[in-house]
Chains A and B, each alone.
Chain A
Amino acid sequence: MQQLPRKVSGKNPAKFLLLMAALLVSLKGMAQELGDHQYTSAAIQRGLRIYSRECALCHGPTGDLVSGIDLARGQFRNAASDDDLRSAIIEGRAQGQMPAFALQEEELNGVIAYIRAGFDPEGVAVRIGDAEQGQVLFNGKGECASCHRINGQGPRLAPDLSAIGIQRTPAVLQLNLLNPAAAILPINRPLRVVTRDEEIIIGRRLNEDTYTVQLIDSDERLRSLQKSELLSYEISDQPSKSATTLDANEVADLVAYLLTLKGEA
């Protein structure tokens, strides 16, 4: 069979290996390289020691002994941001059932890092900022709302983010902002298609098989095309957005806001 005219990037294994290596570096080594956005490996390791000494007695070795709280999974009673956790540890909570801990700043950061790393000493701990600030950034300076839709507001061309907080991890949300090309899901890659009557269609892929492709085009129309009917069919390995110019605190705020989006419109 004549193969269809298309350009697809990232198809060969060598390229995958490079991409994978880049990802491993970006995820495992990021603790050192992205100190502004994340806690360091040293902080996480330190946190493990402090946690074992001070916290594990009540919260348990896996962080889920206290009812309604699962530290490793980021489930808290009231806290959301890292600062909330900081206050809880310093001040104590629940009418003294959780005492106040007089930890040094470094120790405090370590415990939060260990919690944010999901209790994985080798893991990645993403800084989580202020969600309200994050929402302001989403709609303003961050320019997210110009492409993404949340709870019925905004355009549909980019993926709807109404439930993104339960669909993606903090680490991946952060990666998506800092290095979108490394985080985009392959199904979401932008398409550029030229039909036989020379219509140019720009859109986002929704589904594809051997003979057809389904997409949403820039006019928000659902289109289904026979590949054999196309003059050209190109899939970009670059997302339509570039890496964010927001600073580390702003990224932490934006991630905090995205984590509040749980599809409960």
Chain B
Amino acid sequence: MNRVIGTFWLTVGCVLSLLLLPAEIQGQVTTEQQDSLDYQRLLNAANEPHNWLTYNGSYMSQRYSLLDQINVDNINDLELKWVLQNQVFGAWQSNPLIVDGIMYVTERPNTVMAVDVATGRVFWKYEHSNDARARVCCGANNRGVAVLGDKVFMGTLDAHLIALDRINGQLLWRAEVGDVSRAYSVTMAPLAIKDKILVGVGGGEFGIRGYVTAYEAETGKVAWKTYTIPGPGEPGHDTWQGDDWKVGGAPVWITGSFDAEQNLTFWGVGNPGPDWNNAQRPGDNLYSDSVIALDVDSGELKWHFQFTPNDPYDFDAVQVPVLADIEWRGTPTRAMLWANRNGYFYVLDRTTGECLLGKPFVPVNWSNGLDENCRPMITPQPEGQPTYPGNQGGTNWYPPSFSPRTGLFYFSAWEDYATIYRSEEAEYEPGRAFLGGGYTVLAPSPGAPTIGIGRTSPINNWTNEVGHASLKALDPNTGEAVWEFEQFDVSDSGMLTTASDLLFTGGREGYFHVLDATSGELLYYKNLGGQIVMAPVTFMLDDVQYVTIISGNSLFTFALRNSN
């Protein structure tokens, strides 16, 4: 951090805010604003759309913005304003936060940058050095930070939570979230609620026992810790046999949601372990592949709903719990909308966890439907035969969007994608992979290239015959798609909707797509050249609406031509 530059910008910010800008849209951070980034602002984040204050834009996690400057009529005036180049290779899954003119974005493995949103120039950069023992299954990913008060918070691959000074990037505290020698890790963006920072652990492929932990934001002390696998004497423990629960996985690697009126925070829980040998862990294996509702003050479990009991497919339920207050089939409902990796779309009553609707959104052959409680009726495929959807799921962790204006739920689905599973006995060794088998992706000819985790080639030589994306706009009342937008490759891109009924998204091919959220009509696309593996975000500065999207190793920020 360069202290001189920091002071200079603070001064500029004060002057600008006094002379030029409306009170609610600030160019740079003042000390007052820094102190005022309190819980009330996070609670009302959706109502200050010039910022993007939490991972999913609000505690409801709708990724819906009230901004409407960019609209159907002027979308072709969109132009590139600036680019920030990443300094490291690999999938850039980070979700930027925007706080009063400053963007906080991470790059892998664990670097935080504070960026000027008008120019893309960097104020400060903090690099965390990970313990060499850090292990993750699927890349040195980090999906972003949380902000609260004068601090910014990041989880690390070596299973720590760190707090930095939001103005100068200095380390304030560092807390151990999990045992790195047993392959605990943090890849998700933490979530700030009230005076606490909530974070979960990854490691579902390494025989961890998952949990969500809440830390005091001020000190880094643990406020509560709730395991995602119940211990002896706790309800649900009998869904495991012997000592299986100790190494049963159930990680939490995607940021949850919060319903302030109920004081409940909701988290998606990942796969049981070993991943592919469910005969080795008989029982439902609670709370793997479930959503759990926790009291935010105590961490006490209030309800759960399990999507895939005794899962042999690695169908993590680590999707974003999208909360929506809707008229569901004529009844005002506090709903939770969930397109699951297992291929089913669910509507839950988020006050009780009751399942109101469950319907497949892609062809599913591992089950032939859900019973009246939405428990799957399983139809395991014979050995050597393909299972639909495949290992990476009908959808996965990338964030969906719900637009209160259209009433539709938007997400990336994978079509025509299947996997052949193989299971074997796995022996647990601390810190080592604990998989219980493996899988191959179904391809149209022997030895043909297939889809991997992420895209590393500019040539799609696996083609849509191995799998391709379909962006779906579902009506929560029916679970049916109102419209779909197909892509040639699969997509790990999240969604953003706005009050001008635009839908912004991307895909592995590197296209930035803008569609009409009501009709699905394609309005604009641009080849940005690298895989888009996170959702775009939008914000406003000096009366200009910006959209930021990360493609490949670059972060692109767009706005309208002559918009200022």
Contacts and interface: CB of A to CB of B under 8 A. Distances in A.
A171 B444 contact: no
Given A1-B520, A16-B386, A185-B461, A209 B511 contact: yes
Contacts of B447: 168-169, 172
B446 interface: yes
Contacts of A17: 385-386
B463 A208 contact: yes
B5 interface: no
Interface residues of A, number: 31
B522 interface: yes
Interface in B522-556: 522, 525
Contact of A1 (B445, B485, B509): B485
Contacts of A206: 459
B464 interface: yes
B519 to A, nearest CB: 9
B416 interface: yes
B465 A183 contact: no
DSSP majority for the B interface?
loop
Given A11-B416, A16-B418, A17-B386, A210 B511 contact: yes
Contact of B446 (A8, A16, A175, A207): A175
A235 to B, nearest CB: 9
Contacts of B466: 186
Given A1-B515, A168-B447, A171-B446, A11 B460 contact: no
B72 to A, nearest CB: 14
Nearest to A23: B446
Contact of B465 (A11, A171, A211): A11
A231 interface: no
Contact of A24 (B384, B388, B443, B489): B384
B461 A187 contact: yes
Contacts of B418: 13, 16
Contacts of A185: 445, 448-449, 461
B76 to A, nearest CB: 16
A16 to B, nearest CB: 6
B521 interface: yes
Contacts of B458: 207
Nearest to A14: B363
Given A13-B388, A13-B416, A16-B386, A23 B463 contact: no
A105 B464 CA distance: 48
Nearest to A9: B465
Interface in B384-428: 384-386, 388, 416, 418
B462 interface: yes
B58 to A, nearest CB: 29
B486 interface: yes
B488 A186 contact: no
B114 interface: no
Interface string A145-172: 0000000000000000000000011011
Interface in A181-218: 182-187, 206-211
Contacts of A24: 384
A147 to B, nearest CB: 18
B442 interface: yes
B488 A208 contact: yes
Interface string A11-29: 1110011011001100100
Contacts of A182: 445-446
B306 interface: no
A187 B460 contact: yes
A92 interface: no
A186 B463 contact: yes
B364 to A, nearest CB: 10
Contacts of B460: 187, 207-209
A3 B464 contact: no
Contact of A183 (B386, B445, B487): B445
B57 interface: no
Contact of B363 (A13, A19, A186): A13
Contacts of A171: 446
B507 interface: yes
Nearest to B507: A210
A209 B418 CA distance: 20
Interface in B8-22: none
A3 B416 CA distance: 17
Contacts of B448: 185-186
A61 interface: no
A53 to B, nearest CB: 28
Contact of A186 (B365, B385, B465, B521): B465
A210 B520 contact: no
Contacts of B487: 209-210
Given A11-B465, A185-B461, A27 B446 contact: yes
B297 to A, nearest CB: 47
A140 interface: no
Interface in A206-258: 206-211
A120 to B, nearest CB: 14
- Which one of A19, A184, A211 has the highest number of Cβ atoms from chain B below 10 Å of its Cβ? A211
A10 interface: yes
A1 B521 contact: yes
A8 B488 CA distance: 12
A12 B459 CA distance: 23
Most buried by A among B446, B489, B511: B446
Given A11-B464, A12-B416, A13-B363, A23 B445 contact: yes
Interface in B337-378: 363, 365
A135 to B, nearest CB: 23
A99 B515 CA distance: 73
A30 B445 CA distance: 15
B511 to A, nearest CB: 6
Contacts of A172: 445-447
A81 B459 CA distance: 36
A261 B27 CA distance: 63
A20 B465 contact: no
Contacts of B489: 209-210
A211 B445 contact: no
Nearest to A11: B416
A11 B515 CA distance: 25
B403 to A, nearest CB: 18
Contacts of A27: 446
B386 A20 contact: yes
A209 B363 contact: no
13 contacts: A1-B515, A16-B386, A16-B416, A23-B445, A183-B446, A184-B445, A185-B449, A186-B444, A186-B448, A186-B465, A209-B460, A209-B509, A210-B509
Q: Which are the 6 A-B pairs with shortest beta-carbon distances?
A: A187-B461, A1-B522, A186-B463, A209-B509, A186-B465, A210-B487
Interface of A: 1, 3, 8, 10-13, 16-17, 19-20, 23-24, 27, 168-169, 171-172, 175, 182-187, 206-211
Given A171-B446, A186-B462, 13 more contacts: A12-B416, A13-B418, A27-B446, A169-B446, A175-B446, A186-B443, A186-B445, A186-B466, A187-B460, A207-B458, A207-B461, A210-B489, A211-B511
